[in-house]
A and B are shown apart, each in its own frame.
Chain A
């Protein structure tokens, strides 16, 4: 491997913690971040719960002049970016910023949370009322999916590649993968990558109508699971080549060792029941890392809590790790909800936490074992584990699969 890629900083905003330390503490404690929705009036929705960010005051992060011009998505990713960069200790002023790029995964970008926000943004009755100083003109531009990476690039004057991946629920993990490839191929030495998706009324309504949302709790891998619950999150990772990180004496959190993707080419919303598609992504990630399944000590599952995903993911893991595998697998979605395009990257931060802090995050609410889901899912409580390498999964609508391998950094 010519160019090893390492993680030197992660900023996260999640329903169980507004930075990596809080997130780690929440994972260890098995905190349930799901609560009644307050961002919009959910009383008419089929499901009224979701994982929302808590105790986040954006006015503490942005000036009163700037704040009205920024969508919630932009606010979230900008806060995560500031955290990630601070944690990495990277001095951007000393870098050749024409070669530093940013790749983000998102599904909704800067879309307003509530339909009222959408109406205010787009409805024709506002035509003619918009003066040049009114914020909504800027907000319209910021509501586009593509705005997310541009906002981060502009904020930090980054002139390398700026990309937004929008591959549904695997987007965040693909973004990390594309950034990893950019460093491996020598295009860049430093990349910012991650994901962002604010909670929005559109998926809350849409998944509700599809009967994909849980009736009470999100119960990944449990026999009585009946759907997922949505969430919101953002994460921003600072990735560097090993040489670059070592040269500046950076603290390395983990090695981003391998990445793989695949397509089911099966159905728009249903995953291929054989699990062959996700299995190919996991195998490709292992191959890219030059590792064998037995070297993986933990799998951070996609684990949505829908009847189809959890059994198919179990099958896929068995295809790669063997029918009788003992590898611990857990889903953190019961704690943070499913944050769609952001989830792949933000949940992967849990895999890095597990690797560094030496514990397995639990799968909450796994009360009734499912005979078809018969792996070790770390139910209810976290437990200590010494890990050398971990794997993270993310699968999305359109049969779009991604997997990534992280390895402990021994220096």
Chain B
């Protein structure tokens, strides 16, 4: 990348944590949460507690859930960046958000209403949220962001696509600062659709790359990052968590996901001008779905070669669940904290790897690995793959 772009603000909300400190603690503890005691055909919804939104302004009561969680994460990120409530010059600050399923749960709510009451009695308040960019619309109003504004709805990699879009906007001089993130909410219909694909763990526990894995555990989440140019962040005395040294984005048919991931990782490494051997840790997007983890494994192996078996690898989804478009940005948030603190947490359930899987998976407590370079990966499951290389910023 021609300009050095850094992450100066981190914010996230998940069912069991709000804010970067709580999230890091949850991840470092390796707490996978309560497992199901029975085997329901469709698991219960794992949702963010409503108390998370208590402090949001009353005039925003019209927001749907996607808007609420996206705003909550963004407010935390802007505060974390030390920018108060309005991040600098509004015309020079943009926003890009990704959402895998977007306003689908709101569309369902609206359609259920007209199914029940008739076409003339749809709820107009719900209707205004049936565009996926409603969330970024609200956030831009609350935080006065008038620069580039994009909502990407390209599946599970949409959060990292937003990050990439944000980097490009800064690189091309369209904005000085970009607020980027990913968010997805759950609904009973969505959960049913995922369940019918046979993708969900019946035990409600995700065990990425494990012999015992039986599917993914899903959860709501929103995660926001503040990106800006390094010199600008330094000038205002901001704490910089990490540099976004390179990104890669590839697509392809669903049958070639491993190749797409390998190409995306290759692009990100080239953009960062490093060799695979220089990577100090990998934050993998594996989620416990056997086919998905196989693509991830093959992709890492093709891109990193022999180093794939050596580089310490951790899987945030083992703890946080599959959070769709938020997952990639959450992994970047955790990766940024890893290069910032020097600690890389492991995760539970890695004792028996799936046959043929040769990875150096970290288990248990965080270790002081002091990685300079960290790779974050995200697969879309339908063909898209994203990779981000983060670098430790020199103090």
Contacts and interface: CB of A to CB of B under 8 A. Distances in A.
Given A201-B119, A202-B107, A398-B133, A161 B158 contact: no
B164 to A, nearest CB: 9
Interface string B125-155: 0011011111011101100111111111111
A166 B155 contact: no
Which of B127, B171, B192, B256 has the most chain A CB atoms closer than 10 A to its own CB?
Answer: B127
Nearest to B384: A162
B252 interface: yes
A146 B150 contact: no
B101 A396 contact: no
Contacts of A141: 193, 197, 382
A131 to B, nearest CB: 11
Interface string A242-269: 0000000000000000000111111111
Interface string B359-388: 000000000000000000000101110000
Interface string B182-212: 0000001100110011000000000000000
A44 B118 CA distance: 7
B153 A153 contact: no
A106 B152 CA distance: 10
Which of A42, A101, A118, A159 has the most chain B CB atoms closer than 10 A to its own CB?
Answer: A159
B196 A261 contact: no
A142 to B, nearest CB: 10
Nearest to B263: A98
B237 interface: no
Contact of A396 (B104, B131, B168, B260): B131
A158 B153 contact: no
Contact of A164 (B120, B137, B153, B196): B153
A127 B128 CA distance: 30
Interface stretch (B73-81, B109-117, B219-227): B109-117
Which of A107, A137, A210 has the most chain B CB atoms closer than 10 A to its own CB?
Answer: A107
Contact of A206 (B124, B153, B165, B249): B124
A398 B140 contact: yes
Contacts of B259: 159
A77 B106 CA distance: 24
B140 A265 contact: yes
Interface in B86-121: 90-91, 94-95, 99-102, 104, 107-108, 110-111, 114-115, 118-121
B220 to A, nearest CB: 17
Contacts of A168: 131, 133
Contact of B132 (A130, A145, A205, A267): A145
12 contacts: A44-B119, A98-B250, A161-B251, A206-B127, A208-B120, A209-B121, A261-B148, A262-B147, A262-B148, A263-B146, A268-B138, A398-B149
Given A109-B153, A165-B151, A396-B133, 14 more contacts: A118-B115, A146-B380, A150-B254, A154-B383, A164-B154, A165-B150, A202-B130, A209-B120, A261-B149, A262-B146, A397-B131, A398-B134, A398-B149, A400-B137
Q: Which 8 pairs of residues, A with B, have the shortest CB-CB distance?
A: A398-B137, A206-B127, A162-B251, A159-B252, A146-B155, A166-B153, A166-B132, A263-B149
Interface of B: 62, 90-91, 94-95, 99-102, 104, 107-108, 110-111, 114-115, 118-122, 124, 127-128, 130-134, 136-138, 140-141, 144-155, 158, 161, 165, 168, 171-172, 188-189, 192-193, 196-197, 249-254, 256, 259-260, 263, 380, 382-384
